[in-house]
């Protein structure tokens, strides 16, 4: 399984649409990290970019995010990616907490101007 996290440094980027990098973790059946990759998405708001296409091509099925708009969630879903919202903190800690079942989707939507469609 591959999990993507919008990243700033070693922390979850607070807003998906503004993320300059994403960290993708490949996990084995025991949820251990077997590969880590950083990629730079195209510029533009997440709901209007091709980041979902790129993630799908890389095999991502889950994205652990902080704030994200409904348009971006819809785009990720179109590419088979489930978004877990409300994540914050160090990316490796967030990944561990999620694989341990401690993080669930928070059903929080960002509604800032320009990224709601």
Domains of the chain: 2-99 (3.30.420.130)
Rounded Cα–Cα distance for residues 84 and 65 (Å)? 6
Residue-wise pLDDT tens for the chain (117 aa)? 999 999 999 999 988 888 889 999 999 999 999 999 999 887 655 555 688 888 999 999 999 999 888 888 888 999 999 999 999 999 999 999 999 999 988 876 555 444 433
Q: Quick one: which of 28, 104, 109, 8 has its CA closest to 64?
A: 104
Q: Label residue 72 exposed, middle or buried (CB < 10 Å: 0-12, 13-18, 19+).
A: buried
Q: Which residues pair with 15 in a beta bridge?
A: 67
Q: Give this prediction's pTM.
A: 0.87
In this prediction, residue 110 carries a pLDDT of: 54
Q: Which residues pair with 67 in a beta bridge?
A: 15
């Amino acid at each position: 399984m591959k999990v993507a996290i919008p990243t700033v440094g070693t922390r979850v980027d607070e807003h998906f649409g503004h993320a300059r990098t994403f960290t993708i973790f490949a996990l084995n059946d025991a949820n251990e990290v077997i590969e880590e990759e950083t990629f730079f998405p195209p510029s533009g708001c997440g709901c209007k970019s091709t980041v979902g296409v790129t993630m799908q091509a890389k095999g991502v099925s889950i994205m652990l995010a902080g704030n994200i708009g409904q348009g971006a969630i819809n785009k990720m879903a179109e590419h088979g990616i489930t978004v877990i919202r409300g994540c914050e903190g160090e990316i490796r800690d967030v990944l561990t907490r999620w694989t341990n079942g401690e993080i669930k989707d928070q059903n929080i939507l960002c509604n800032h101007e320009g990224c709601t469609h």
